[in-house]
């Protein structure tokens, strides 16, 4: 499996503080992943990618993100190290790849982009080859033709764009100054997951046998709002690991050692990561399985995905066996109190085990 990282801040951050300098940076995770126990493929060395947005006031550069990717291992790319030391951004997507579908090529490296959008994926769509035709039949021509690589992830991105388009929001346009809004992006993401869930279940019925779950940790942004999912098509298994951290500043207190500083209740810095960048347990909160997390104006919102795999009973624990078999474990981080994390009524009423306590 892969690893990804998201940074959204009020102020730009030097990419090196995310990619290279931390002792457990995402680049170091490409060869030293603490939550990856797959001895068959112990490293994430099948390429990498980093995408970031330039300042909005620089109109000449446009709304599209700048993306740098390569098929070389992230730890062995000097150009990435040089870029990280000289580039700042307030919205960053980074991804290191351990391929499950698609050959080793730059067209298969995440994040993918389409006009103002960026998208990345950690996981796999079960039996993708058997439902690929369903994707192609469903997509409008412009999104079908947009696909350049061979990964299930890029097809999922095309499906998201097509779904957003059919909801009445043209992905080729970037409404200023606040983008499309987190609500419509979340709706499109839920529908995208719903299509994939339906098609894989139909394929399972045709096979008349057990089909392994799909692991769908998706992340998408229009440069303003961010939508991230931690999802698996199972009511008994954990999804691939995913965590978030918020605070006033992400600081280096010793060479290579970072922590999330919280001087007040502001969320000037928001990080979402497959694997924590720091070893401070109190810095990170585990996102519950089958949950959508959105970031809107530096506010974190969490919504359960209520479908046939939704587990309303908080006393029932999911198994990590499947995630572990794919090189992932899902350690439970104790819930922390975040006053700016907003939970929808369904969670406030106690109908689901929350990972964050609303103050």
The domains of the chain are located at 3-357
Q: Is 2 a catalytic residue?
A: yes
Q: Take residue 302 and report the two structure tokens written for it.
A: 């969490």
Mean pLDDT by 10 residues, the chain (359 residues): 89 93 73 47 63 83 89 75 93 78 69 96 92 96 95 96 97 87 97 96 78 93 97 94 95 90 90 89 92 96 95 84 69 38 42 33
Instruction: Tell me yes or no: is domain 3-357 CATH 3.40.47.10.
Output: no
DSSP one-letter code for 106: G
- pTM, full prediction: 0.86
Q: Take residue 203 and report the two structure tokens written for it.
A: 């394929």
DSSP one-letter code for 288: P
Q: Take residue 211 and report the two structure tokens written for it.
A: 């089909």
Strands (E), 42-84: 48-52, 66-70
Backbone angles phi, psi at 193, to 5 degrees: -60, -40
DSSP one-letter code for 223: S
The predicted structure's pLDDT at residue 333: 40
- CA-CA-CA-CA torsion sign (231, 214, 95, 286): positive
Please state, in angstroms and rounded to a whole number, the distance separating the CA atoms of residues 259 and 292. Answer: 25
The predicted structure's pLDDT at residue 302: 95
Radius of gyration of the chain (CA): 19
Which of 2, 66, 69, 109 does the annotation list as catalytic? 2
Residue with tokens 């997509």: 139
Please state, in angstroms and rounded to a whole number, the distance separating the CA atoms of residues 8 and 268. Answer: 8
The predicted structure's pLDDT at residue 209: 64
Q: Take residue 248 and report the two structure tokens written for it.
A: 């006033």
Q: Please state, as a whole number, how many other Cβ atoms lie within 10 Å of the Cβ of residue 101.
A: 16
**CA atoms within a 13 Å half-sphere pointing along the CA-CB vector of 122:** 32
Residue with tokens 């994040």: 111
- CA-CA-CA-CA torsion sign (228, 224, 280, 36): positive
Task: Give SS3 for 164.
Answer: helix
Please state, in angstroms and rounded to a whole number, the distance separating the CA atoms of residues 126 and 101. Answer: 11
């Amino acid at each position: 499996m892969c690893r990804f990282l998201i940074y959204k801040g009020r102020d730009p951050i030097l990419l090196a503080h995310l990619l290279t300098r931390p002792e457990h940076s995402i680049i170091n995770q490409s060869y030293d992943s603490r939550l990856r126990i797959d001895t068959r493929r112990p490293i994430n060395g099948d390429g990498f990618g980093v995408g970031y947005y330039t300042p909005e006031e620089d109109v000449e550069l446009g709304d599209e993100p700048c993306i740098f990717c390569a098929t070389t291992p992230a730890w062995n790319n000097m150009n990435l190290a040089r870029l990280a030391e000289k580039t700042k951004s307030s919205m960053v997507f980074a991804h290191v790849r351990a391929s499950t579908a698609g050959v080793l090529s730059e067209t298969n490296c995440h994040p993918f982009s389409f006009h103002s959008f960026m998208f990345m994926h950690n996981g796999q769509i079960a039996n993708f080859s058997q439902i690929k035709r369903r994707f192609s039949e469903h997509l409008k021509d412009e999104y079908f033709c947009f696909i350049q690589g061979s990964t299930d992830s890029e097809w999922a991105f095309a499906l998201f764009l097509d779904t957003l388009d059919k909801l009445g929001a043209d992905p080729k346009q970037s409404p200023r100054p606040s983008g499309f809004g987190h609500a419509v992006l979340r709706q499109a993401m839920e529908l995208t997951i719903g299509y994939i869930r339906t098609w894989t279940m139909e394929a399972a019925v045709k096979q008349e046998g057990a089909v392994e779950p799909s692991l769908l940790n998706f992340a998408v942004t229009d440069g303003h709002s961010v939508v991230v999912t931690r999802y698996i098509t199972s009511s008994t298994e954990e999804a691939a690991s995913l965590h978030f951290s918020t605070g006033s500043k992400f600081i280096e207190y010793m060479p290579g050692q970072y922590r999330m500083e919280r001087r007040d209740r502001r969320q000037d810095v928001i990080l979402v990561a497959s694997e924590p960048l720091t070893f401070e347990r109190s810095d990170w909160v585990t996102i519950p399985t089958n949950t959508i997390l959105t970031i809107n104006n530096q506010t974190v919102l969490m919504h359960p995905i209520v479908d046939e795999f939704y587990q309303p009973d908080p006393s029932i624990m999911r198994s990590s066996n499947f995630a572990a078999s794919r090189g992932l474990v899902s350690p439970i981080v104790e819930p922390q109190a975040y006053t700016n994390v907003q939970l929808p009524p369904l969670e406030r009423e106690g109908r689901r085990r929350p990972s964050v306590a609303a103050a």
